[in-house]
Structure 1
Amino acid sequence: MPAVGAPPERSAAPVEVAAFDFDGTLTRRDTLLPYLWRGLGWPRFLSALLLSGPWLAAFALRLMSNHRAKARLLQVSFKGRTEAEMAQWTAVFVGHYLPVQWQPDMLARLRQHQQLGHCCVIVSASPGIYLHEVGRVLGMDAVICTELESHHGALTGRLATPNCHGEQKVRRLQAWLAARGLQKPIVLHAYGDSSGDVPLLNLADYANYQGQPWVRKPSDHPNAPRA
């Protein structure tokens, strides 16, 4: 009970969080394959695709999860490569390739959120080997993404986290918010461009899909009965 004469308690102002997908949202297109071919060179890139071919084909036919197919491609592309080598790839990629790939409208949205003092995060299935540098360049508060395992300064080729796609985006963002004590009230803004972003868009108070306001279908509601 408040003391006599004490001013009435005020509810805490909500924390505003803006969560952005990366590929196709902040950028014009997917970035993983361009990162691979620019780093590996065409012969080794084509070899990686051939070695991953059965997994990629199974995913295209919906016979395998994107997690397993992506894990295979990353394994054959990165296993044994040093963190120093990846840093060199990333510096060239972020410095020379990405500047012509930004979506101007989405960058403007990001800058607007930042100017308003909102907490801005990237939530993406792209790998952290280059996405953390992207986050630094953009001034993000956090990057939540697919992390690769390393041992003694070299990549093992294995994933250190699940592929940050679909429901994983929601789980990872909620875990990040909880770890930093950002409990409710939270106002969440979310931006995405594909089906893998739908769970995150449905979680948001304000959501934007491919540049347009997201309209949640009744079947998309988190509490809707599942078939």
Structure 2
Amino acid sequence: MKLALFDLDHTLLPLDSDHAWGQFTTRLGWTDAATFTRRNDEFFAQYQAGALDIHDYVRFSTAAVRERGAQAAAAAHQQYMREVIEPHILPAALELVEQHRRAGDLLLIITATNEFVTRPIAHALGVAELLAVELARGPDGWYSGEIAGTPSFREGKVQRLEQWLAARGLGWDTVHTTFYSDSLNDLPLLEKANVPVATNPSPGLRALAQQRGWRILDLFETLA
């Protein structure tokens, strides 16, 4: 089986969907603008530096959703898709996905952003299989602020993919994987993939890809 694996933020999207969701809810008045923006930017900088505590970040990033409840959160996400995400679903990303679909590859998005934010985005990109940070639910059935299972972040992406493969009776030796990512945070999975592709890479990943001879794809400039 051939698998085409895609990171989401800054890979198939030219933005960070989690960071953008936080900015969006601030514009809705769900959070104090100055306080939230400062903390959101701090977490984003930690992510870029490879120093993010994913559990602390998920508690922070889901606080407004947890407070507002399921109905308000769903309505806000529909607006977020229309106003923020859909204008940034670009032809180059859709064509890359379609290239792999035409080749008969199984498509999967694997992202460190949580499932609430990303599932509608994956659907809009035409990718049915999604491995995202799963959110635990409390006794009331709504999100608790904690992560369920292994977060799909750094080494956790490898573990989550291994779990996904095992559930289908597959393993690394029975699949051929191509993985697209922009970030050094994804180095564990890039190193496991048969074909790692540094996509819109950060400076650090670009330098590493050049050193190792990995393909570099500046997706929003060219599909070459």
- CA distance in structure 1 between the partners assigned to 2:45 and 2:128 by the alignment: 36
- Residues 6, 181 of structure 2: 8 Å contact kept: yes
Amino acid at match of 2:196: A
- CA distance in structure 2 between the partners assigned to 1:160 and 1:23 by the alignment: 21
Describe the shift of the 1:45–1:133 C-alpha distance in structure 2 as closer, same or farther (beyond 3 A): farther
Question: 1:175-211 CA deviation, whole Å, 9 max, x = no partner?
Answer: 1111122344211010000111211111111121025
Q: Among the aligned pairs, what percent are the same residue?
A: 22
- Residues 114, 120 of structure 1: 8 Å contact kept: yes
Give the aligned partner of residue 210 of structure 1: 199
Give the aligned partner of residue 161 of structure 2: 173
Describe the shift of the 1:215–1:180 C-alpha distance in structure 2 as closer, same or farther (beyond 3 A): farther
What is the SS of the residue equivalent to 2:107? Answer: strand
Give the aligned partner of residue 139 of structure 1: 126
What is the SS of the residue equivalent to 1:140? Answer: coil
- Residues 19, 120 of structure 1: 8 Å contact kept: yes
Asked whether 1:20 is paired with 2:6, we answer yes
Give the aligned partner of residue 106 of structure 2: 119
Please report how far the alpha carbon of residue 108 of structure 1 lies from its aligned counterpart in structure 2 after TM superposition.
1.5
What is the SS of the residue equivalent to 2:63? Answer: helix
Q: Which runs of 5+ in 2 are unaligned?
A: 214-224
- CA distance in structure 2 between the partners assigned to 1:63 and 1:30 by the alignment: 15
TM-score normalised by the chain length of structure 2: 0.76
* Two-structure CA RMSD over aligned residues (Å): 3.2
Question: 1:51-97 CA deviation, whole Å, 9 max, x = no partner?
Answer: 958x849948x796431441342253333332222221222222332
- CA distance in structure 2 between the partners assigned to 1:63 and 1:153 by the alignment: 32
Name the one with the larger helix percent. Answer: 2
Question: 1:122-155 CA deviation, whole Å, 9 max, x = no partner?
Answer: 0001110021112222232311011222233422
Describe the shift of the 1:58–1:99 C-alpha distance in structure 2 as closer, same or farther (beyond 3 A): closer
Moved more, 100-109 or 124-133: 100-109
Give the aligned partner of residue 93 of structure 2: 106
Give the aligned partner of residue 191 of structure 1: 180
Count of residue correspondences: 204
Give the aligned partner of residue 11 of structure 1: none
Moved more, 80-89 or 173-182: 80-89
Residues 39-188 of structure 1: pairs in structure 2 closer than 5 A: 39-41=25-27, 43=29, 44-46=31-33, 49=36, 52=39, 56=43, 59=46, 65-151=52-138, 152-183=140-171, 184-188=173-177
Asked whether 1:36 is paired with 2:22, we answer yes
- Residues 22, 61 of structure 2: 8 Å contact kept: no
Describe the shift of the 1:202–1:96 C-alpha distance in structure 2 as closer, same or farther (beyond 3 A): same
| Bigger Cα Rg | 1
- CA distance in structure 1 between the partners assigned to 2:45 and 2:91 by the alignment: 35
Please report how far the alpha carbon of residue 113 of structure 1 lies from its aligned counterpart in structure 2 after TM superposition.
0.7
